[in-house]
Structures are given as structure tokens and as C-alpha cells.
């Protein structure tokens, strides 16, 4: 029996093409997925990686042999696949490895209405069946395949949610990182009062210019320089499958995803007063504060899209945000879309005369460390040592919802979480100013790395 534990992850399937991921494995996965979702059809999209069309076709073969139909939408961002799943009310499969290097590929699966498929919602069962061998198909009439272009429908849907037609003219640099933003951005902004300055829009799964992960500071250096060079009002960077976006202001300075979460939450609450907004526990404390100030109900969750989406479904939340620059919308089937978040930011900027730095400063209240990774031999022992070091201090509160979160009486706090896949501990610190962040960061790291 095959062991696929290295390929089937918590939220998706991902591996090195030709070594961990091949057409036979993908075909079996398509058949197992079809058996689980039942029908009548599955919608399939893929990114610009050289291996993606072939793998998507193999997956389609597996679905078809189980008697389900296939709707192929071709080149797509991940949020475009979610649009297809939601608008057609079909289960879906997206072939992408997001920002991973070119030799990787993967599959993101969803049920009808873009409902997530992860380890706790069907992925484990698919893994077991593929490992054991998918039973042969008997007596089923193969399904039929049709091809549809849903880009125009995706654009129309998002532009109805955020109207930019009356915005003041804006100049915006967009870095697509040679990923799927190069496919979706031209269509999305066509005819709007947005002068797009394109960077790396050529679809190229080898990522010749930089890794398509805008959360890594080195990957937005080009964007920052171009914003300053052309005097742009803002800069936006998308990751490889364009489901995340990262924003820089007119000075080329990064805008925290927590500030974007707070800004978009305020806009969504203006449309739906009293609504619930989800945030994970490493977003800035400014997020729940601002949500409450705008009459909303903030709800805190663990880190990870499956937890966010589950909580959104359970609470009927209008919006959710993570510090990883994933943004989730009730109006988008509770799924994440970086494009819709970017439209909100540009609409907010275009509705007033001030610069983006001034607009976002109202949503950025504290200093933060960003995520700091430490390689450790024993995650549990290091976590316990940190917990013990802070346990007896007056006014200190802690919880273990996701790793260890410690709240200090002066308002500073930190979260220390173990990686699920590597021998790492991930530290996030927030406090009143940079000096307080540095002091708390250094104290925790001395224990973690001591």
C-alpha cells in the first residue's frame, strides 16, 4: 500500500511533480473525489505551471470514469475556481502549488459552494482510498467534458460587490509575480479609473523574477521601488495562484494585513451593521477593537483557512481576515479572495483625497514583530519552558487555543506556535511600540533558542 502522508497535507495535496505527484496518482485522486462528492459534475481549473494542464486532464479522466461530468475552466486563479464552484454550485479542483517553486504542484479541493475539503472534511478519506487502491469502475457510463470561460463572469461578480467606477483616478502598480494575477488583473481593471502599472504579468511557472510569495519582504522589493519610481498611489502584489494580496502604500511601505483586515471589516460593517467578523489569533489586537468600535462582533479563531471558513459558516460572519493576507467574504461563499480585498482597499482610497498611508494609519495602532521562526529539537519542551517563565507574573494571562498566547498587563502579547510540518516554533509579538516589541521578542527567543 502506498504511503501518501507526505503529499496529502492538512488543507490540500502538494508535492514534487514526477517524484511525489504524477498522472496516475492524480487520476486516482480524481476518481476518489468523484466517488465522495457524488455529482453531477466537477469544475476544474489550473494555474500557469507547465505541469498543470496535464495533471488537470488526468484528474478529469478519473472524474469522468466515475460517471460524473467535468466543467474545465482552464487558466484560473484559485479564487476564480471558488467563484466557479459557488456560482455553479459544483465541487471543484484547482491545480496549483501557490508560491512553491516550479517543480511542485498540487490540488485544492472544495465541495459545492466552495466549501473547503481538508483532513477533517474528506481529504483523509480520499488519501486512504488512493493509498489502498481506488476500486475499479464497473457498469458506469463515463461522464462528458465541457469547456467554459468564466473569467468575465468572475470579473462581473466581484465588480458588483465593490464599485470602483466613481473612484478618483488612481495609479496602482501591480506585481503579479508571473502568477495568475497576470491573467485576472487586466480583465478586472479594464475600463475602471485605475491606471495599472504592470509588473511580471507574463505567466511563467518558473517564477523568473522572484518567488511568488509577497509575505516574504525580499519578494516585494521590486514593487516598492516601482511605486516610488512612478509616483503611484499604491502597490499590490499577488501570490502565485492570486488568492492572497499584499499592499504597499504610496511611499512603498508595506501595509500590515491586519490593517487591511480592519479596513475591509469597517467597510463590510457599514453595509451590514452588527455583523460578525472573524480574525485569527495572530492578527493585531487592533482588529477586534476596530470591529467592536464599528458595531460589529469580533470572533477569534485558530490560524488556518479551515478554521476560519468553519467559523464563518457557523456564525454567519460577513468577513474574515488572517495575518497571512487571506481574506474571506460571506458574499464570496465564505471563501478567500485577494482580488476582492484589493478592490476594497482601492475603493476606500479612491473615495477620499488623502494618501494610502494616511488612510491605513487609522487601522495600524501597534508595533509588531512579524513571524519569527526558530528551529528547535523539542517543540513541546521549549513551549513548556516559555509557559513556565511567564506563568507566575502578576497580571499575565495565557491560553492554548493555538500554541501558547500570553497577554501582558501593559497590553503587549505574543503567540508561540509549533509548525505542523517542520521542527519550528513560530513567534509573533505585538506591543505599544518598537522598543517594547524588541524587548518582549528577545526575552521569548532567549528561552526558545536557549
* Cell numbers representing residue 30 in the block: 480524481
Candidates 32, 52, 57, 98; catalytic one: 98
For residue 434, the number of C-alpha atoms closer than 13 Å in the C-beta half-sphere is 0
Residue written as grid cell 487609522 = 362
| b (16+ CB within 10 A) / e for 146-158 | eeeebbebbbebb
Q: Give residue 390's Cα distance to chain centre.
A: 33
Please list the residues that pair with 416 across neighbouring strands.
Answer: 404, 427
CA atoms within 13 Å, Cβ hemisphere of 211: 14
Whether the link from the prior residue into 40 is cis, omega within 30° of 0, is yes
Q: Which of 357, 363, 356, 346 is nearest to 162 (CA)?
A: 346
**How far, in Å, CA of 35 to CA of 52, rounded?**
23
Query: Are 293 and 287 within 8 A, CB to CB?
Result: no
Nearest to 345 by CA among 225, 212, 231, 254: 254
The DSSP bridge partners found for residue 70 are 42, 145
Q: What is the C-alpha separation between 96 and 65, in angstroms, rounded? A: 23
Dihedral angle sign, alpha carbons of residues 401, 78, 181, 61: positive
Q: Which strands form 194-199's sheet, in the order they lie side by side?
A: 194-199, 170-175, 234-238, 245-248, 254-255
> How many residues appear in the chain?
450
What is the H or E stretch that residue 252 is in? none
Tell me if 177 sits within 8 A of 219, measured CB to CB.
yes
Grid cell, residue 238, equals 499577488
98 is catalytic: yes
| Count of CB atoms situated within 10 Å of the CB of 378 | 10
434 is written with which cell numbers?
A: 518598537
> Which are the catalytic amino acids?
98
Amino acid at each position: 500500500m502506498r504511503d501518501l502522508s507526505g503529499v496529502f497535507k492538512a488543507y490540500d495535496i502538494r508535492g514534487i511533480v514526477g517524484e511525489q505527484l504524477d498522472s496516475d496518482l492524480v487520476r486516482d485522486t480524481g476518481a476518489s473525489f468523484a466517488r465522495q462528492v457524488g455529482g453531477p459534475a466537477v469544475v476544474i481549473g489550473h494555474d500557469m505551471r507547465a505541469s498543470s494542464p496535464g495533471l488537470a486532464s488526468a484528474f478529469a479522466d478519473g472524474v469522468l470514469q466515475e460517471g460524473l461530468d467535468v466543467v474545465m475552466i482552464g487558466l484560473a486563479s484559485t479564487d476564480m475556481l471558488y467563484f466557479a464552484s459557488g456560482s455553479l454550485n459544483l465541487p471543484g479542483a484547482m491545480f496549483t502549488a501557490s508560491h512553491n517553486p516550479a517543480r511542485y504542484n498540487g490540488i485544492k479541493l472544495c465541495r459545492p459552494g466552495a466549501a473547503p475539503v481538508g483532513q477533517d472534511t474528506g481529504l483523509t478519506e480520499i488519501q486512504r482510498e488512493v493509498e489502498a487502491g481506488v476500486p475499479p469502475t464497473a457498469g458506469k457510463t463515463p461522464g462528458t467534458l465541457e469547456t467554459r470561460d468564466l473569467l468575465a463572469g468572475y470579473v462581473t461578480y466581484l465588480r458588483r460587490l465593490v464599485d470602483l467606477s466613481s473612484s478618483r483616478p488612481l495609479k496602482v502598480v501591480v506585481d503579479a509575480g508571473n502568477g495568475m494575477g497576470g491573467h485576472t488583473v487586466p480583465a478586472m481593471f479594464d475600463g475602471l479609473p485605475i491606471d495599472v502599472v504592470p509588473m511580471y504579468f507574463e505567466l511563467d511557472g518558473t517564477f523568473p523574477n522572484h518567488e511568488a510569495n509577497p509575505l516574504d519582504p525580499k519578494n516585494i522589493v521590486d514593487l516598492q521601488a516601482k511605486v516610488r519610481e512612478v509616483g503611484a498611489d499604491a502597490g499590490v502584489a499577488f501570490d502565485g495562484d492570486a488568492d492572497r494580496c499584499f499592499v504597499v502604500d504610496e511611499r512603498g511601505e508595506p501595509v500590515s494585513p491586519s490593517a487591511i483586515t480592519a479596513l475591509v471589516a469597517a467597510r463590510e460593517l457599514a453595509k451590514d451593521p452588527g455583523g460578525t467578523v472573524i480574525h485569527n489569533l495572530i492578527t493585531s489586537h487592533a482588529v477586534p477593537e476596530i470591529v467592536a468600535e464599528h458595531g460589529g462582533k469580533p470572533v477569534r479563531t485558530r490560524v488556518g483557512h479551515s478554521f476560519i471558513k468553519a467559523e464563518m459558516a457557523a456564525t454567519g460572519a460577513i468577513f474574515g481576515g488572517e495575518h497571512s493576507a487571506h481574506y474571506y467574504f460571506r458574499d464570496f461563499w465564505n471563501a478567500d479572495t485577494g482580488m476582492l480585498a484589493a478592490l476594497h482597499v482601492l475603493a476606500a482610497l479612491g473615495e477620499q483625497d488623502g494618501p494610502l498611508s494616511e488612510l491605513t494609519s487609522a487601522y495600524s495602532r501597534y508595533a509588531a514583530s512579524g513571524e519569527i521562526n526558530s528551529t528547535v529539537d523539542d517543540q513541546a519542551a521549549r513551549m513548556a519552558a516559555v509557559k513556565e517563565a511567564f506563568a507566575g507574573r502578576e497580571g499575565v494571562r495565557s491560553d492554548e487555543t493555538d500554541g501558547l498566547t500570553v497577554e501582558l498587563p501593559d497590553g503587549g502579547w505574543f503567540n508561540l506556535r509549533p509548525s505542523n510540518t517542520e521542527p519550528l516554533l513560530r513567534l509573533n509579538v505585538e506591543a505599544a511600540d518598537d522598543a517594547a516589541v524588541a524587548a518582549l521578542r528577545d526575552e521569548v527567543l532567549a528561552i526558545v533558542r536557549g
